[in-house]
Amino acid sequence: MKIFFVGFAVFAGGSLAAKHVFVSEHLRFYLAQQYCQSKYTDLSPLTNDLEEQVFRKSVTDGQSGWIGIYWDDNEKKWICVGGVVYRDQAWETSPGNIDRVYWTREKWISKNGWTLSNFFCLNLIVVQEEKTWEEALEHCRENHDDLTSLLSETENRLAKREIQNPTITQRVWVGLRFLGDTWMWVNRDPLKFQAWTQTGDPDQQCPVQKRCGALSKQGEWENRDCQEKLNFICV
CATH number at residue 213: 3.10.100.10
Over residues 41-69, the mean pLDDT reads 94
Specify the DSSP element, H or E, that contains 214: strand 212-216
| Residues 57 and 146 placed together within one structural domain of the fold | no
Domain boundary among 59, 92, 122: 122
- Residue 14, pLDDT > 50, answer no
pLDDT, tens digit, 9 for 90 and up, residues 23-34: 999 999 999 999
- Residue 20, pLDDT > 60, answer yes
What percentage of residues in the chain have a pLDDT greater than 70? 86
Sequence-distant (≥ 6) Cβ neighbours of residue 140 within 8 angstroms: 127, 146, 147, 232, 234, 235
pLDDT band with cut points at 50, 70 and 90 for residue 181: confident
Tell me if 105 sits within 8 A of 97, measured CB to CB: no
> By residue range, what is the domain housing residue 174?
2-14+124-234
| Residues 117 and 129 placed together within one structural domain of the fold | no
pLDDT, tens digit, 9 for 90 and up, residues 67-103: 999 998 888 889 999 998 887 655 555 677 889 999 9
Domain boundary among 84, 104, 122: 122
Domain boundary among 79, 103, 122: 122
Top pLDDT among 137 and 96 is at 137
Identify residue 35 by its one-letter amino acid code: Y
In the predicted model, what is the mean pLDDT of the chain?
88
- The DSSP bridge partners found for residue 227 are none
| Residues 117 and 75 placed together within one structural domain of the fold | yes
Tell me if 136 sits within 8 A of 102, measured CB to CB: no
Predicted local distance difference test score (pLDDT) of residue 2? 30
Sequence-distant (≥ 6) Cβ neighbours of residue 211 within 8 angstroms: 177, 178, 179, 223, 226
Tally the domains of the chain: 2
